[in-house]
Amino acid sequence: MARRTKIYEGKAKTLFEGPEPGTIVQYFKDDATAFNAEKKDVIEGKGVLNNMLSEYFMNGLTAIGVPNHFIKRLNMREQLVRACEIIPLEVIVRNTAAGSMSKRLGIEEGTALPRPIVEYCYKDDSLGDPLVSEEHIAAFGWASQQDMDDILSLALRVNDFMSGVMYGVGIKLVDFKIEIGRVYEGDFQRLIVADEISPDSCRLWDMETGQKLDKDVFRRDLGSLTDAYSEVAKRLGVMPKGATPMKPTLIN
Ligand code: TMP
């Protein structure tokens, strides 16, 4: 079998050259990191869950016409995606105050926001992904004004889609982060949702109990991360009986 060429290794995923030009194989690792990798662990089964969940959300986005990088899932840990130039921004949408916004502005976690708030962070681990304004983005040429209009529209469409899907299974979408990629089609370029959408990159709270079903379980030592992600997968019908190599007791 031909050896695959590694393109990039991130904290939670590794990217390999895909079988066709313009494609990439995205491998989901079990590594979990928080606070810019100050806290690290290996959580058995996390990669499988995020692979399946990201497939589910990206397919849903495709179905409602939100362009994204997903082509197909290859196996339990890998998916084939469209190659794109990642815009160096983390695009965060918040519906409810939590995390760094609560800390920064002194707003109690769980406070409903009057409207979805979109924030941008500059993607640079050595700087700890600092919050930036549209002024920085324009001045440093990270994205054009047209790009910013498209990014805002994509972010709000993903928010509406994800909020609705989660509401349907009794989960509140508190906030999430997406990354956006640029693809070239002939003389045109357009922006698509890239990277992943999973409980690693969202805050998900059970609507009745407020139980956290996302990476805060790891960040804040609140229990088993795979139990939390499995609960999300189970409610969405993404993880059928026996389809996981994790401890069988986690899934019923
Ligand atoms: P924050 O409140 O820590 O800024 O996080 C906002 C959202 O972004 C939350 O859903 C978690 C997600 N997120 C990532 O996906 N990657 C990151 O590196 C950080 C800091 C947050």
Task: Identify the structural domains of the chain with CATH numbers, from first to last.
Answer: 85-206 (3.30.470.20)
- Per-residue pLDDT of 179-208, as tens digits, reads 999 999 999 999 999 999 999 999 999 999
Q: Whose CA is nearest to atom 16 of ligand 1?
A: 201
pLDDT > 80? residue 178: yes
- Give yes or no for residue 212 CB within 6 A of ligand 1: no
For the entire predicted model, the pTM comes to 0.94
Q: Is residue 202 lining ligand 1, measured as CB closer than 6 Å?
A: yes
Q: Which amino acid is at 240?
A: P
* 11 CB-near residues (< 8 Å, 6+ apart): 31, 33, 37
Does residue 240 register a pLDDT over 80?
no
Closest-CA residue to 150 (of 190, 184, 196): 190
What is the atom index within ligand 1 of the atom nearest the CA of 202?
10
- Answer yes or no: are the C-beta atoms of 222 and 215 closer than 8 Å: no
pLDDT at residue number 3: 76
Cβ-proximal residues to 182 (8 Å cutoff; 6+ apart), any chain: 84, 85, 87, 147, 189, 190, 191, 192
Q: Which of 118, 177, 200, 229 to mutate to test the pocket of ligand 1 (most atoms within 8 A of CB)?
A: 177
pLDDT at 239: 80
Q: Which residues of 217-249 are buried (b: 16+ CB within 10 A; e: fewer)?
A: bbbeeeeebbebbbbbbbbbebbeeeebebeee
